[in-house]
Structure 1
Amino acid sequence: MDLDGGNRRVFNRLGGSSAASPDSSKNQKVCYHWRAGKCSRFPCPFLHRELPHPSGPAAATSNGSGAPKRFADDSGFSGPALRRGPNFNNNHNNSWGRMGANKVVRKTEKVCNYWVQGNCSYGDKCRFLHSWSLGECFTLLNHLDGHQKVVTGIALPAGMDKLYTGSKDETVRAWDTNTGQCMGVINLGGEVGCMISEGPWLFVGIPNVVKAWNTQTNQELSLSGPVGQVYTMVVGNDLLFAGTQDGTILAWKFNAVTNNFEPAASLKGHTLAVVSLVVGANRLYSGSMDHSIKAWSLETLQCLQTLTEHTSVVMSLLCWEQFLFSCSLDQTIKVWVATESGNLEVTYTHKEEHGLLNLRGMPDSESKPVLMCSCNDNSVRLYDLPSFSEKGKIFAKQEIRAIEVGPGGLFFTGDGTGFIVWKWAEAVPKP
């Protein structure tokens, strides 16, 4: 996977063709600050890679154990993240945000209000956008209406041709993925704070309870224990975790004998509501309204580390390869990486003009990783990684609180008017 996008300056900085010239031999010194993961010079006069082993060029691509250096998982965004130990490799730190100036910009980045109302007289000559998106790499397939308030969850249970959406209008709707028609509405009597699917199970978080439906058998369960709204859920190590309004993380385990989910643990430590959860590298990460992130062992369920670099609510967390991403209402996305000791440290901070609400990641049509970030200015930014170069934008009438990734290059965004189905455009063959 080429994460540097062919940027020649980065290539030369890593000791590419220019490093082989006779005149450059006196500069073959590894940057001390790069080794510490804190080099801020660009371009840096020193190397941002380890020097080749005297045994030959092949040794330069190994990590000491004979294995090639690479990210923890080349498949894209995934659970097994933040891998540590003797194979820890921080060589990609120098690439974060290096191509941030290479942005997609067309016209004024604002949707025309008259176009939205269907009566813009300027047509193609209008200086504002006549589109809900900015960028050529994805297209809008369908806009599905029905919910009366903001969509807070989108889920696609495995092996089904149905998609489910949950909303603050206290309902869950089922949609036929082939026709786009609403197939049914479930009234819950409480605002949907979050919704996920795992296997045949659909989990919906509402105040003071988690509703669970088996979409294959139609079995319905109510998991009691939460105090206040359930804002976030995740599955890891055969446990269902739920972050609640009182700052507690509750866990349930499925009992095949009783065919029920039984309470397994209650994790306490946050002082305010837990609003984001993610699992990676045998750890559970939780983000809270108390501005902190906590790392928990999935084996012992003990808190291993508390991260306090954010200055506002930690709205969303995402694991990608060996990195943890976090976004906050403090208008930043932070990229964390594990040190040799196993503790997480910030390796890059990306700043936005607005608070951030949600993070999702997926490969584009060329299998390159893309980060999607919804902001509280009613938009979603799409960035190439690790450069954070802007790939496109999505606009909406209201805040986009839900983003979900589907099969075949599909992804979904949900706001107060319903949800939209998007698809990555087919890659253009290179000549």
Structure 2
Amino acid sequence: MSANQQDHYEEEFDDTVDEEYLVADEVAEEEEADGGEEYMDDEEEGDQEEYGGFYGAREVEGDDSVMEIADDSVQGFFEHKEPVYAVAMHPTESNIIVSGGGDDKSHIWRADNGEKLLTLDGHTDSITSVAFSVSGEYIASGGMDGKVRVWKTHTGEFCTQVDGPDEIIWLDWHPKGNVLLAGATDSTIWMWAMPSGKFMNIFNGHAAPVTAGGFTADGKHIVSVSEDSTLIVWDPKSAASLVKLTGADARFHSEPIIAVATDKESNLAITGSADGTSKLINLHTGNIIASLENHSDSIETVAFCDVLPLAATGSVDNKVSIWDVQTHRVRHTLTHEDAVIQVKFVANSVNLVTCSADRTVRLWDTRTGECLKKWMGHQDAVLGFAVSSNGDTVVTGSDDGTCLVFKA
């Protein structure tokens, strides 16, 4: 990239991120202008009977018979006929959900009554990631067809399609503006200005699929990890690699890195690897602060707590480890009956939500290690979930082709 091109993209990144938000009144005005009130009705939640009578048990069709399964959900969405790989919740209106899966479609639907609002099509292969922009004004979907498509949330108006990467693995919106990242199997990360779809940068530095990544909470850096056992901290304006850790360092990972998360202060990263370890890393210096070792198999998911110096790691060994980030010691070991697929802390809370191939979703108090809730209802592995900012609603996507809604 030439010096003139670099200056251009740095200026464009600043303009795209800073010019549009985030002022609460402006966001509210945009949502009202888009007719957002048509979908929004969070005040009328009611009790479990109001959600369609799912609570208790429901009948599901087997190969040759109809069986009854325990079902703790209060609502469900059943339009997907293939595994649901991705689910996201509107950032301010927890009843608005988008899900995408193996049927090559995304659907916008309501968590309170299961009503389908819109179908978002145009992909020609499985959808692997869906994400709302920071204000909720836009929805992005990424698929194995290498396409990223963006719509307006409240109207379903199609905005743009961008191509370039190979199969999309993950998407992430900038925390302060309409800039979208996509990580792909071809070792690249792409960045666009939305909703125009204007190309902003491409990040080259990995040598294998970019398994996880995203913007730091302050929006000033990008952190990504790869199957090539590398972690890179990027400057989003210039696409320069600021920090790079590789498997050549004996202290770092020796096998593919599957997961990464950064803390609320944008100072630390935690990784999860197929080698069964996590590393705690200073994002500014690249120093490996600690190696966190309490698992016997691949670590698939990691997360930081917003309010206490805690982190969580989830593994194929059926365990979740709760780590003290300051002492680097395990505080609690939590157990599922099968591989742990995703862990996520409730925003500004010590509570942790986990899902597993054991078909359950669980809510934990990480201070005590107590399981507060165990939700059942899926017939197959729970592949992911979204949780509301207040922690009272969890929406899941499963290998059984359904989405379920659970209430804390």
Superposition map of 1:331-410 within 5 A: 331-338=318-325, 342-362=326-346, 370-377=351-358, 379-386=359-366, 387-393=370-376, 395=378, 399-405=381-387
Aligned-residue identity in percent = 15
Counterpart in 1 of 2:245? 267
* CA drift at 1:141: 3.5
Superposition map of 1:56-135 within 5 A: 112-114=60-62, 127-128=68-69, 134=73
Q: Do the aligned residues in 2 keep the contact of 1:273 with 1:288 (CA within 8 Å)? A: yes
> What value does the CA root-mean-square deviation take over the aligned residues?
3.8
Counterpart-to-counterpart distance in 1, 2:160 and 2:406: 25
Cα deviation code 1:218-271 (max 9, x no counterpart)? 33122112211111103336220110110001121133xxxx432222122211
Q: Do the aligned residues in 2 keep the contact of 1:152 with 1:401 (CA within 8 Å)? A: no
> What is the identity, as a one-letter code, of the residue corresponding to 1:382?
R
Structure 2: gaps (5+ residues): 1-53, 76-94, 96-110, 247-251
- Residues 424 and 134 of structure 1, relative CA distance in 2, 3 Å threshold: closer
Q: Do the aligned residues in 1 keep the contact of 2:259 with 2:299 (CA within 8 Å)? A: yes
Query: Which residue, out of 190, 193, 208, partners 2:187?
Result: 208
Q: Do the aligned residues in 2 keep the contact of 1:153 with 1:196 (CA within 8 Å)? A: no
Q: State TM-score, norm by structure 1.
A: 0.59
Q: Do the aligned residues in 2 keep the contact of 1:107 with 1:127 (CA within 8 Å)? A: no
- Residues 175 and 324 of structure 1, relative CA distance in 2, 3 Å threshold: same
Counterpart in 2 of 1:79? none
Cα deviation code 1:254-295 (max 9, x no counterpart)? 33xxxx432222122211111111122621111111111001
Counterpart in 2 of 1:163? 139
Counterpart-to-counterpart distance in 1, 2:158 and 2:378: 24
- Residues 145 and 156 of structure 1, relative CA distance in 2, 3 Å threshold: closer
Counterpart in 1 of 2:268? 283
Counterpart-to-counterpart distance in 1, 2:397 and 2:125: 10
Q: Do the aligned residues in 1 keep the contact of 2:181 with 2:214 (CA within 8 Å)? A: no
Counterpart in 1 of 2:129? 153
* CA drift at 1:154: 2.7
Question: What secondary structure, in the 3-state scheme, does the structure 2 residue paired with 1:241 have?
Answer: strand
Counterpart-to-counterpart distance in 1, 2:161 and 2:389: 24
Structure 1: gaps (5+ residues): 1-104, 426-431
- Residues 163 and 414 of structure 1, relative CA distance in 2, 3 Å threshold: farther
Count of aligned residue pairs for this structure pair: 299
Q: Do the aligned residues in 1 keep the contact of 2:182 with 2:189 (CA within 8 Å)? A: yes
* CA drift at 1:148: 6.4
Query: Which residue, out of 330, 333, 339, partners 2:317?
Result: 330
Cα deviation code 1:84-109 (max 9, x no counterpart)? xxxxxxxxxxxxxxxxxxxxx9767x
- Residues 160 and 224 of structure 1, relative CA distance in 2, 3 Å threshold: same
Counterpart in 2 of 1:241? 223
Bigger-Rg structure (1/2): 1
Q: Do the aligned residues in 2 keep the contact of 1:154 with 1:404 (CA within 8 Å)? A: no
Which is bigger in relative contact order (C-alpha 8 A, separation at least 6)?
1
Question: What secondary structure, in the 3-state scheme, does the structure 2 residue paired with 1:359 have?
Answer: strand
> What is the identity, as a one-letter code, of the residue corresponding to 1:191?
E
- Residues 310 and 423 of structure 1, relative CA distance in 2, 3 Å threshold: closer
Question: Is 2:249 the counterpart of 1:301?
Answer: no
- Residues 395 and 421 of structure 1, relative CA distance in 2, 3 Å threshold: closer
